[in-house]
Amino acid sequence: MNEVKNHPVGIHVSISGKFDLAVNRAIEVGCVGAFQIFTCSPRQWNASKLKEEEIAAFRSKVAQNGFQTFAHMPYLPNLSTSDEKFYSKSVEVLKREVARCEALGVPNLVLHFGSHMGTSVESGQRRIIQACNEALHESSRSGVRLLLENSASVKNSTGSQFPMIKQVIDDVLDTSRIGVCFDTCHAFAAGYDLHTENAVERTFMDFECEVGLEKLYLIHLNDSKGALGDGLDRHEHIGKGKIGSEGMRAILSLKELYHIPVVLETPVDEEGEDRKDIQTVKKLILKN
């Protein structure tokens, strides 16, 4: 099992109750070396104040168990919107989440590119660049890194193609605190083939040429309910979607990615499905 221990594999876990219980849940479902959380309810604008005792308990358990931790932005903000009021509110949430991550000792915050709302990809990119610059400038003494998650090429989306991601990264002023979270389902939906070993090698060669693997800090390992290039952002259980077991295994076996933490965001329609998906990933790693 040493190969699994050397390859950080986790899943998104709940913070319900108390923050440190997220660590318990990560251990219970079989996470090895990594997991992801929301720092608050993902479907609300407001967030309750962090309590010092909860911060201390969370930090302590994370350290004791050797986890790399990641947080994800809530769903409501849109950092590419042309609606000025909505945009301003979204940027404030981004700043707040950076501060919450800093307090909790979570070094990476994943954010979606968002929707340009029918304006243009270029204008949407300008807004997300501005949002990142504002958040990073305001938190200049923080070590929290922003991870841009590639989009699934749904209507009005920005960030679905590697050159788009590269352009945003290049225009963020503090390059040391910006990186990429590569979502496999989103990439597949956007037309990047991942269902065979050769396809995976080509896709990540493209990523290396366009963005640079040094900017990749996290992989969201999700199979896809939709077909290649159909723009459908619907996650599926590992090996049961259109990417399939061969593609999942090829991603996990690519030597250039082996040190990159993998976090699953697969469906949990029935109790125990998260544990099953983690076990499937571990078995695929051991087959390499």
The Cα–Cα gap between 70 and 37 comes to 6
Both tokens of residue 220?
Answer: 């969201």
The one catalytic residue in 7, 127, 177, 220 is: 220
- Note if 237 is an active site residue: no
Known catalytic residue at 265: yes
Q: What is the DSSP letter of 150?
A: P
Whether residue 75 lies in the annotated active site: yes
43 counts as catalytic: yes
Q: Which of 186, 195, 237, 249 is catalytic?
A: 186
- Catalytic pick from 7, 12, 72, 145? 72
Among the listed residues 233, 236, 274, 277, the single catalytic one is: 233
Q: Is 35 helix (H, G, I), strand (E, B) or coil?
A: strand
> Which candidate in 20, 25, 145, 183 is catalytic?
183
Catalytic residue chosen out of the listed positions 97, 223, 265, 277: 265
One of 7, 96, 177, 235 is an active-site residue; which one?
235
Catalytic residue flag (residue 183): yes
Q: Which of 28, 75, 83, 137 is catalytic?
A: 75
Token pair of 37 as six digits: 């959380």
Tell me whether residue 186 is one of the annotated catalytic residues. Answer: yes
Phi-psi region of 14 (alpha: psi -120 to 50; beta: other; left: phi over 0): beta
Give CA–CA dist 123/121, Å, rounded. 6
Q: How far apart are CA 111 and CA 115, in angstroms?
A: 12
CA gap 71, 43 in Å, rounded: 15
Half-sphere exposure of 43 (CA within 13 A, CB side): 0
Task: State yes or no: is 12 an active-site residue.
Answer: no
235 in catalytic set: yes
Give the separation between CA 184 and CA 182, rounded to whole angstroms: 6
| 69 neighbors 102 (Cβ within 8 angstroms) | no
Phi, psi of 228 (to 5 degrees): -55, 125
Task: Report d(CA 60, CA 63) in Å as an integer.
Answer: 5
Q: Is 149 a catalytic residue?
A: yes
Active-site residue numbers?
43, 72, 75, 112, 149, 183, 186, 220, 233, 235, 265
